[in-house]
Every structure is written in structure tokens, then in C-alpha cells.
Amino acid sequence: MKKKYHYTGLKRINSILKWTLIVAFIALITYIIVSKATNRNIKWLNHKQAGLQQIDSLNLRALFLSDNQHFAEAEKLIDSAIYLSDSISYKKGMADGLFGASRIQYIKGNYETALECALNSLHINTGIADDVTISRVRNLLGLIHLAQGETSEACEELNLALNINLRLNDSTKLAANYFNIGLCFSEQSLYREAESAYRTAAFIAQKTRQKNIELMVQNRLGEMYFKMGKTQAAIDYYYRVIKDTVYQNDWENSFAYTGLAECYERSGYNSIAVDYAEKGWLLAQKNGTKWDANRALAVLGKIYAAMGNFEKAYQYTLLNIQYQDSLFNEKKQSSINALNLKHQRLQNYSLQQKNLISAQENKFQRVVIICFLIVTALLVVLIIIIYRSSGQKDFLNKELTEKSRLLALRKEEIKRQKDQLSELNETKDMILSVISHDLRSPLSSIILTLNVIRNMDVSREDFQSILEKMNHHTLATRNMIDQLLNWANSQSRGLIAYKTEINAYEVTEEILSVFEHEIVEKQLAVKHTATAFAAIFADIDQFQVIIRNIIDNAIKFTPDKGTISIDYQSNLDSTIIIIKDTGVGMSAEKLSKLFHSSGKQINSFGTKNETGFGIGLTLVKSFVDANGGKIEVSSSPGNGTEFHIYFPRP
């Protein structure tokens, strides 16, 4: 019994020693593997920390260079920062680099590329919850939308940025926020609100010593006062920019010089104006800013025309047209290219995500197998590893879901931009129709007057009288062309009504002066009744197009010695303009198609074979609707035509 017991004890001791050696061996192998992995991780972390500092330094240096207009050098540094950030998965460095790239493209006028970079930066910053960077990206997004005439989107982004900075109490960012909100108000002709925002921005910028924003405020105040007709105040603000002894910036100086040229041209000092316009044009060329160059060229063409130097006026006007075509074509082409590029990227991105998931799953399986072979006996450790790996997979799934949501938003953005491009083309066609239609009549009058002078033997007194009338008619025509071009420029983003209080009687009286030759030639009696109820609330340029077209039709279709009357009525909500003629009238069939068709469907000839295709009246209906009014017409063959146009009262 003793021997058996002794043998069993020895067997148990040997078994314990054996399992102890096995566990010790496994623990030793595990210690060696963990030690090597730890040393490797420490070296990698040290290397990564140095990389983070280098990337931050590159982005800061690029920001400084772009502020001083060294864009080429700044873009090289940004490319390096983005490449390094991608190699070590440094999200903040990637977001800051994309923001810097977007900022440079915005200054250059490449808004499509700027928008793409800014949206990518915003997505990354939202993921890492960096409110400081999110506020400046939203501020930049607001400026990009504002530059493209998307005022509502711009206001939304700028107010989001302002709210973040107010919450963070970041005074250095608040100055820029208020300045940009002032731009939004100014674009909407809300000058009182714009001035308040500008002055708040200037006050904060002065306290935080942001001299660049102070100069930007001076320039925009000058621009605003010029629009309001306060020319001397505008000159004072522009001079503050170019004569500042502390801070000088080519971009702001270009804006100020061109602004001074506009002011002096309006005041009649053309020799001074042309000098400032040339300086603005040279700085815009140096900076490569197409919008500023286009603005300076337009002013130069106008000044040289006023000085009688038509050769130079023609040269600068031709350059201006080329810049306008370039800006329009670039925007149109970049939008088309961007749509195709984004579609291709969406497909590639989806494939990359599938490959990423597959690679992550393969990596996960290899880790599980290695851990199983090394620490088979340590089940607790294996369970922990599996649990952590499962959590990593859930995180990847959440990240993939977020990226899919972003792709859906980008698709919606592509569709919105495509719709805007179609609307832009329709607006362009409408503008060309208005200009060609409204210029035909006054130019015909000038040509008829010239033929009279050339073909008739007139006395010196009659010749002088004809010249004076022709001069008056030409000035009225030029004024109408200026109004049409200003209106066309304001409508380049779509049919928009900029409503103000208008004296309808005074504007109609000016329009009648343009048709003086036709009225005299046909011996028409025009009865224009003055009244105290002629105030309306509408877009003045669109109102002129409406009245001009209806009066033009009345003259065409009223026989010699006929009568045209213009009267005014008023009710609780509207001012009603009544234009009645004793012309040939219209059939019920043509009357039903009047505001819905043009061309051959309703074409007709005036009493002296003047052509009419209904284009003007189709546009009249669109403009009346855009101003919140309505138009009614009654007519019958041989009994003339009567229009009732309703406009809101101020």
C-alpha cells in the first residue's frame, strides 16, 4: 500500500511539473512577442508624433504664404501635408490641408474645386468634433456660395459659423463672421443691416489687431455707399485702403483703385478715373483674380467712351467681353466636368469600400489564428481579443454607414447644381430676348432720322432742331441700354426681382421720350395723366421692360392720328396702370394665346408693317408675376386694346 501510494504521488508531482513547464514556456513566448510588439509600437508612436508636428508646420506655413499671395508655394506645401497625413492616417492634418486648398481656390475664383475641398474638410472635422476648424470651414463655404450668387445657402453657413464662434467666444473669428454676413446683406440691398454688420466687424478687428479685415470693411463700405449714390463717402473709404501705412494688400488695393475709378467717372473726372482704373486692372492681372479684372475692364471701357477715345473703349470692352465669356464658360464647363468626375468617383469609392472591408476581414482572421496558436491555453485572453475585434468591426460598419450618408448628400448636391446650370441657360436666353427686342425700336428711330437728314434738303434751323432731338433720343437710348445691361447683369443668376419704391408716372414719362420720333411720325395723341397715386413697389428695370413693351405695341398697332392714353387707379392693395389705344385690336383666338405663345402662332404686322411676334408680352407676363402683380387685357378687332397692370403699393 505504501509503494502504491508513493508511486501515485510521484506521478502527480511529475504531472504538475510538466504542466508548469508548459505554462512557463507559453508565458515566456508570450512575453517575448509582447515585448517586441511594445518596442515596435513605441518607435512607431515616436515617429508618428514627429510626423504630426511636421504636417501642422506645413499647413501653418501654407496659410501664411497664401495670406501674402504666394499661392504656388502654398499649394506645394499643402500637397505635401495631405500626402503625409494620408500615410499616417492623421485626420486633422488632412482636414487642415483641404481647408487651405479650398481657400486658395476660392481666392482664384475656382469655386467648384473650392466647394469640393471644403466639403471634404467639413466631413473630416465633423468626425473628430473640432468646433474651431468647423467654424472656419463653414465660414469659407458661406463665401463660396455667396460668390456664386447662392445667398440663402451662404447666409445659412455663415450663421452656423457665427453661432459656433459666439459659443467659443473666439473674437479673432467673429470679425470675419460679421464681415461676411455684411456681404450677404449688401447683396440683398439691405444696406442698413449691412452697415451694422460691417461696423461690428471693424470694431472687433481693431480690438484683435486684424488689419486685413479692417481694410476689407473699408472697401465694402465704399462699395455700398457708391451703390447708394453717396459718391464722396465712397471715395473717402477707398482712399483709407490705398493710403494705409500699416498694412498693404494687392487684392484689396485692386478693389479700391477700381472703386475710385467708378466714383470719379460718375463725378465727371475722367482723367483721374482712368488712372485709377488702370492701376486696378494691373493689380488684378498680377493677382490672377478674374472677377476683379472683369470689373476694372468694364470701368475702363466706360471711361474711354465718355472721353471720346472710342478705339481704347473698344479694346477694353472687347477684353471685358472675353473675360465675361471666360468666367461663364469656365463655370459652365467646370460644372459639367465636376458632375462627370463626381459620378466616376462615387463608383470608384464604392469599390474601394468593398475592398477595404474585405482586407479588414482578412486581417482580422489572421490575427485570430495567430492568437489561437500562441495562447491556446489562455482562453480568457482569447475572449478579450475576440471581443475587441468585434468592437472594431462595429466601428468600421458605423464609419461605412456615415460615408454612405455623405455619398447620398453629394448626389443631391450634384443634382441641385445640374438644375442650377439648366436654369442659368434659360435665364441667358431670356436676357438676350429682352435686349434684342427692346433695342430694335430706338435704333430704328435713329436710323430713320439719319435717313431724313441724308435724303432731304433741310434748312439750318430745321437741321439744328433735328440734331437736338436726335441727341436727346440717343441719350435716352443710351440710358435704356445701360439699364438693360445692368438688369441683365443682376439677372445672370436667375429671374430675381429687386423691389424698391418707384414713381410709375416719372418712369413712364422717360420711356415715352424714347418713342417720341414714332409718336410724331404717326401723329398720335398720347394722353398721360399725372396723378398722386402712381407709387408702386417693384423692380425698376423689370418695370421699365413691362411698360416699354406695352407702349411699343400700342404705337405699332395704332393707325395715324390715333390715341394712346395712360391712366392710374388705386385700391387698398394695388396701384393699377391702365394703357389704352385706339388701334386695330385682336381676335379672341390671339387674345387667348397672348401671354403663352410667341412666334408664328400670334405674329402680326403693325399699321406700317412693323413686325411683332409676341416675345415682349411673354416676358411682360413673367416680369409681372415676379413682382407679385397681375396683368389683364381686353380687346376686339377694330376697337383697340386695353391693358390693366396691377402692382403692389409701397
The Cα–Cα gap between 508 and 632 comes to 19
Phi, psi of 458 (to 5 degrees): -110, 155
pLDDT band for 127, please (50, 70, 90 cuts): confident
pLDDT value at 509 more than 80: yes
Element (H, E) at 586: none
Element (H, E) at 631: strand 630-635
Residue for grid cell 416680369: 623
The pLDDT of residue 60 is 85
pLDDT band for 372, please (50, 70, 90 cuts): low
Contact between residue 255 and residue 220 where contact means Cβ atoms under 8 Å apart: no
pLDDT value at 187 more than 70: yes
355 vs 67, more confident = 67
The pLDDT of residue 612 is 47
Cross-strand pairs, 83: none
Contact between residue 515 and residue 630 where contact means Cβ atoms under 8 Å apart: no
83 vs 129, more confident = 83
Over residues 228-274, the pLDDT tens digits come to: 888 898 888 888 888 888 888 888 888 888 888 889 888 888 888 88
* 607 falls within a domain: yes
* 582 falls within a domain: yes
Closest listed residue to residue 577, CA positions, set 541, 616, 551, 606: 551
pLDDT value at 337 more than 50: no
* 393 falls within a domain: no
The pLDDT of residue 389 is 67
The Cα–Cα gap between 252 and 258 comes to 10
Average pLDDT, stretch 424-444? 61
Query: In terms of residue numbers, what domain contains 563?
Result: 469-648
Average pLDDT, stretch 182-198? 87
pLDDT band for 646, please (50, 70, 90 cuts): very high
Is the Cα dihedral 535, 538, 543, 544 positive or negative?
positive
Over residues 84-94, the pLDDT tens digits come to: 888 888 888 88
* 586 falls within a domain: yes
The Cα–Cα gap between 442 and 444 comes to 5
Task: Look at the chain and report how many structural domains it folds into.
Answer: 1
pLDDT value at 543 more than 90: yes
* 371 falls within a domain: no
Average pLDDT, stretch 508-532? 88
Over residues 450-503, the pLDDT tens digits come to: 776 776 666 777 777 777 767 766 766 666 676 566 556 655 555 788 899 999
645 vs 108, more confident = 645
Over residues 544-599, the pLDDT tens digits come to: 989 998 998 899 899 999 999 999 999 889 999 999 999 999 888 888 877 765 44
pLDDT value at 2 more than 50: no
The pLDDT of residue 456 is 65
Cross-strand pairs, 605: 611
Contact between residue 522 and residue 562 where contact means Cβ atoms under 8 Å apart: yes
In sequence order, what E strands does 446-594 have? 500-503, 525-528, 535-538, 563-570, 574-581
CATH of residue 493's domain is: 3.30.565.10
Cross-strand pairs, 533: none
The pLDDT of residue 558 is 93
Over residues 620-641, the pLDDT tens digits come to: 888 899 999 999 999 999 899 9
The Cα–Cα gap between 432 and 411 comes to 32
Residue for grid cell 504521488: 9
pLDDT band for 152, please (50, 70, 90 cuts): confident
CA dihedral 68, 70, 75, 77 (to 10 degrees): -80
* 79 falls within a domain: no
* 238 falls within a domain: no
Contact between residue 527 and residue 551 where contact means Cβ atoms under 8 Å apart: no
The pLDDT of residue 631 is 94
Predicted TM-score (pTM) of the model is 0.42
Average pLDDT, stretch 183-196? 87
* 532 falls within a domain: yes
The pLDDT of residue 575 is 94
Computed over every residue of the chain, the mean pLDDT equals 78
The pLDDT of residue 507 is 93
Cross-strand pairs, 612: 604
Q: Any residues with CB less than 8 A from the CB of 142 and at least 6 apart, and which?
A: 153, 154, 155, 156, 157, 158, 161, 180, 184
